[in-house]
Amino acid sequence: MPTVEQLERLLEADPTDTFVLYGLAQAHAKEGRHAEALGFYDRVIEVDPHYCYAYFHKARSLEAMGEAAGAVATLRAGLEASREAGDAQAISEIGGYLESLEAGSG
């Protein structure tokens, strides 16, 4: 996996590259820098609202930060985006994660 520094250089060339933005979000999340990761997940979603796994992993970062309500809202938006995109795999994974969070908060 490229380093954060390498990804940042790539992002300078194209600030709307969703693959690079998503990679930066994942790198920050992996290192426990969830606030930074959220910013990059948001940028991915802004550029491509149907980039379904950005919602899934944004919700994971929110959950890690103790923001379960935000995670649930993000998953609901991701589920809608997945349906619009016709992405059955994302619908299944996001839906399953949403169910587990809602069951845990009830």
The CATH number assigned to the domain holding 93 equals 1.25.40.10
State the 10-residue block means of pLDDT for the chain, 106 residues long: 85 94 96 97 97 98 97 98 97 97 80
Q: Which amino acid is at 20?
A: V
The answer to whether residues 77 and 83 touch, using CB atoms and an 8 Å cutoff, is: no
Q: What is the pLDDT of residue 79?
A: 97
The predicted model scores a pTM of 0.92
DSSP one-letter string for 74-105: HHHHHHHHHHHHT-HHHHHHHHHHHHHHHHHH
**Parent domain of 56:** 4-105
Number of domains in the chain: 1
- Return d(Cα 85, Cα 91) in angstroms, integer: 10
